[in-house]
Amino acid sequence: NMAASAEGDAEGWCAAERPGAGGLALLGLAPSAPSCPHGPALLFVKTSQGKEEGRRFYACSACRDRRDCNFFQWEDEKVSEARLAAREEYNRNHQPSFTHRQNVERYENFVLLPLSKRRFCQECQQLLLPSEWEKHSDHQFLCDISTAQLKSPSQLLYPLENKKTNAQYLFADRSCQFLLDLIIDLGFRQVLCVGTPRLHEKIQSKASQEDDFRVRSLLLDIDFRYSQFYTEDEFCHYNMFNHYFFGGEASRETCRKFLYQDNGERVIMVTDPPFGGLVGALASSFKKLMSMWKKTEKEGHNNQEMPVFWIFPYFFESRILDYFPSFSMMDYQVDYDNHALYKYGKTGRRQSPVRIFTNLTPSMIVLPVEEGYRFCAICQRYVSSGNQHCEICNSCTSKDGRRWKHCVLCKKCVKPSWFHCNNCNCCALQNHTCEKTDAGCFVCGKAGHKRSTCPSLS
């Protein structure tokens, strides 16, 4: 039963974000961790009021939904040889049917075909060579795949929108163009795209069309379908939750070589992880990528960090700053093509909550004035026009684009829809349920303490 309950917890491992809350705590990547088809598993423990409780267990790093990967193992469990062999066999069978090299060769053959013979199977999400048509005859497929379509694979492939695993929400063109312009204006030449296929696509496409375009990019992504469109120097199959390169040492070396070009000068990492992902696991992987860069030959990298744009919702700000104190959050609202809510130009609650976190000096990040951003001379950064400078806090405090108001009792600015509640002794929505109600303890009914500290229990 205990196993079933822990396995149930593995399904909702997002709770592992708040070590103080009851639920799960992520203990990280153990050196001897067992592997599932997504690489080494992560170690978790059940917690109650911030204290570790019960046995530790391993669960898949990439999938929170057990229907996508049901890997589970107790940390202290003795696994028989037979089960280890069966697991290795299972992991092997759950790898893609073609290798990256085979996909590159298939692509080379595919582009030689006349337009009328270029087919893409929508069910298998695969470019088809004429000899394979028969096998896919009862599937839905697209015909006459043009060169332009091949250069925009993110529009050809179905977005994997399962929020708990892939959450492939793709940048709207406006945000993608803004990011690329910003990267060029800041003088970067090498862009490590971690889970940002649209940006990579834009860079690759410009590089192939414009002779004087100097920016290069490498895509690290868990979606192996991209290996059909990019060479081994342009794409690495990578899991950002456990820093796992599926292509092994060769793939890791590709990434290292990319970061080493020009002695690691003018490199920036841009990452757009699934929003349900564990910040702790992501931070650990990003630190490893950053230290890979730090090992470049460049003198004077010692105290520097590789420049990063981490794109994530603003309500994770404190978690990101816990891991990266040098980061700050920009006001720019990033929006997505295929996300119902995160669209540009909406007002109020429907504005995109997604922001850019970066370790670059905030004043360097110039935001478009025509989209309603302005420069705050006191904060020395661009802010959204509704973000008014608070003289008491001495900063532009709004996180969501609306004008926030200062609460003297809380000693900070709060959302315009919040009011100070004397019961809770903090600001909250007007019709919220108070935490400090007068209801008594569940055990004895008396006020002043909770069930867990009830004297009757002792």
- Specify the pLDDT at position 436: 52
In a domain, 90, yes or no: yes
Q: Which of 78, 94, 110 is the last residue of a domain?
A: 94
- Specify the pLDDT at position 46: 82
Q: Contact 55/74 with Cβ under 8 angstroms?
A: yes
Q: Which of 366, 390, 416 is the last residue of a domain?
A: 366
- 85 and 134, same domain (yes or no): no
- 339 and 232, same domain (yes or no): yes
pLDDT digits (tens, 9 = 90+) for 133-175: 999 999 999 999 999 999 999 989 987 755 444 556 788 888 9
In a domain, 126, yes or no: yes
- 197 and 55, same domain (yes or no): no
In a domain, 16, yes or no: no
| Core vs surface per residue 39-68: b (16+ CB within 10 A) or e | bbbbbbbbbeeeeeeeebbbbbbbbbbbee
Tokens of 225: 């379908």
- Specify the pLDDT at position 362: 94
Tokens of 297: 């030959």
- 206 and 331, same domain (yes or no): yes
- 186 and 281, same domain (yes or no): yes
Residue 322: which CATH number?
A: 3.40.50
Q: Could you give the dihedral angle defined by the CA atoms of residues 436, 439, 441 and 447, in that order, rounded to the nearest 10 degrees? A: 80
Q: How far apart are the C-alpha atoms of 262 and 83, rounded to whole Å?
A: 48
- Specify the pLDDT at position 3: 40
Q: How far apart are the C-alpha atoms of 318 and 303, rounded to whole Å?
A: 23
In a domain, 406, yes or no: no
Give the global pTM. Answer: 0.86
Low-confidence residues in the chain, pLDDT < 50: 1-22, 163-165, 346-349, 437-439, 442-443, 457-458
- 140 and 31, same domain (yes or no): no
Tokens 């280890």 sit on residue: 84
- 336 and 203, same domain (yes or no): yes
Other C-beta atoms closer than 10 Å to the C-beta of 146 total: 10
- 178 and 34, same domain (yes or no): no
pLDDT digits (tens, 9 = 90+) for 50-71: 677 778 999 999 987 778 898 9
- Specify the pLDDT at position 456: 53
- 133 and 188, same domain (yes or no): no
- Specify the pLDDT at position 103: 97
- 104 and 83, same domain (yes or no): no
In a domain, 258, yes or no: yes
- 108 and 122, same domain (yes or no): yes
- 236 DSSP β-pair partners: 220
In a domain, 137, yes or no: yes
Q: Contact 60/71 with Cβ under 8 angstroms?
A: yes
Domain total in the chain: 3
Q: Which domain holds residue 351?
A: 173-366
In a domain, 177, yes or no: yes
- 127 and 240, same domain (yes or no): no
Closest CA to 229 of 110, 94, 96, 142: 110
Tokens of 359: 């370790």
In a domain, 2, yes or no: no
